Amino acid sequence: MSDSLVQEVAGKLFADLVPPKLVNDAEAGDFPAALWQAVNDAGFPDALAAAETPGSLAGVPDAAAILREAGRHAAPLPLAETMLARWLLAGAGITAPDAPLTIAPAERAGGLLLHRAGKGWRLAGRAAGLPWGKQSSGIVAIVDGRVALLAPKAADLRPGRSLAGEPRDDLSVDAEVEVKPAAAGVDAALVYRLGALSRAVMMAGALEAVLVLTVQYANDRVQFGRPIGKFQAIQQQLALLAENVAAAGVVASAAVEAASGQGDLAFAVAVAKARVGEAAGKVAEIAHQVHGAIGFTHEHRLHHLTRRLWSWRDEFGVESEWQQELGRLAAARGADGLWPLLTGW
């Protein structure tokens, strides 16, 4: 399927199956099993693992098209995590459980170690903010170029939630695990970058949804005898909002293209996570201001998107983390290397 067809199919599925009530229920702790079943039947969680070569990133465009739609509809599922987990397992030749999965660590500096125990391996240590840990059927860890599959029951998971009410659990583990070498070229740094890319793409989708909602509201809401969108003060803010949404969309797509083998993945992902994260804050701020009090209520669905933006921009590296990485990467090439870097990615 072409990317745009994948996007269309995914968009329709999420539009039909993710009403606001489902998002609220998921945030209250009900895992949306029927939605997961539909998503799984559509093959979405295998989008990344579908590539024939182990560890290949050829599936990134399809995966990204699906995640952009998941973000647009605030679909409360460990979809990015399961995609990455199945891709890691497939690359390592471990059979993946046919269920929601998650990956560890979701932080840059992982606190997990693998060590030999008799003929097998043990995974030990801690990892904070594990997405959907307790609601997953398997935790896939990548440590020192090795992939381990851990059953959540064998670990101690302290439940937590993100600003968006999505499960983010603290993992503490010392358990025997199944371990295989990761596919060539796959390591924890790459997985972290792909995690950051997933959040950039999900934010790009959510940002587009916020723009549509906010323009609609500005056209519908009447004050002083006319729609508030007719006031220049509102128009100027909405233009700024829209421009940031456009920038986020362009840079997220550029990073997807780079990650699927046509460019500098490390540079492109750092640029995308830093820039989209900045757009997320600005856009959410303006959207709430335009919506006024109604947008601050739990009843209105704007917060399904904005709380995800606030949460996702912090995950897999806050903007400043990626900015520092970019700055170091650029500085290492020297002042006169900056322009070739900008024109060469």
Output 95 or 343, the one with its CB closest to other proteins. Answer: 343
Contact between residue 292 and residue 276 where contact means Cβ atoms under 8 Å apart = no
Residues 226-245, one symbol each (x = binds other proteins by CB under 8 A, - = not), give ---xx-x-xxx-xxx-xxxx
DSSP conformational letter for 96: P
Q: Which is nearer to other proteins, 91 or 229 (CB)?
A: 229
267: tokens are: 């540079």
- The answer to whether residues 198 and 67 touch, using CB atoms and an 8 Å cutoff, is yes
Residues 188-227 that bind other proteins (CB under 8 A): 208-209, 211-212, 215, 218-219
Residue 261 binds other proteins, judged by CB under 8 A: no
User: Phi and psi (nearest 5°) for 115?
Assistant: -140, 155
Nearest distance from residue 253's CB to other proteins, in Å? 6
Q: How far is the CB of 256 from other proteins (least distance, A)?
A: 10
Q: Which is nearer to other proteins, 5 or 342 (CB)?
A: 342
Short-list 31, 24, 130, CA closest to 74: 24
Considering Cα of 304, then 24, then 45, then 12, what sign does the dihedral take? negative
Tell me: does residue 249 bind other proteins (CB under 8 A): yes
- Alpha-carbon distance of 44 to 315, in angstroms, equals 22
* Cβ atoms 147, 182 nearer than 8 A: yes
**Contact status: 339 vs other proteins (CB under 8 A):** yes
Residues 6+ apart with CB under 8 A from 337: 330
Q: Which is nearer to other proteins, 103 or 245 (CB)?
A: 245
Q: Does 37 bind other proteins (CB under 8 A)?
A: no
Say whether 108 sits in a helix, a strand or coil.
coil
Select from 271, 280, 286, 305 the one that contacts other proteins (CB under 8 A).
271
Q: Rounded CA gap, 76 and 53, in Å?
A: 30
The verdict on 331 binding other proteins (CB under 8 A) reads yes
Q: Which is nearer to other proteins, 98 or 243 (CB)?
A: 243
**What one-character DSSP code corresponds to residue 95?**
P
CA–CA distance, 161 with 139 (Å, rounded to integer):
17
Q: Which two tokens stand for residue 69?
A: 């739609």
Distances (CA, A) of 313 to 85, 197, 272, 345: 21, 11, 11, 23
β-pairing, 139-143 vs 102-104, is: parallel
Per-residue tokens: 307: 């709380």
Give the whole-angstrom CA distance, residue 282 versus residue 337: 31
**Closer Cβ to other proteins, 150 or 258, answer by number:** 258
Q: Which of 25, 246, 266, 281 binds other proteins (CB under 8 A)?
A: 246
- Binding segment for other proteins among 16-24, 146-154, 190-198, 265-273 (CB under 8 A)? 265-273
Single residue of 113, 175, 247, 266 touching other proteins by CB under 8 A: 247
Residue number with CB closer to other proteins (152 or 295): 295
| Segment contacting other proteins by CB under 8 A, of 115-123, 178-186, 191-199, 273-281 | 273-281
Least separation in angstroms between residue 265's CB and other proteins is 14
Footprint of other proteins (CB under 8 A): 208-209, 211-212, 215, 218-219, 229-230, 232, 234-236, 238-240, 242-247, 249-251, 253-254, 257, 262, 267, 270-271, 274-275, 278, 319-320, 322-328, 330-336, 338-339, 341-343, 345
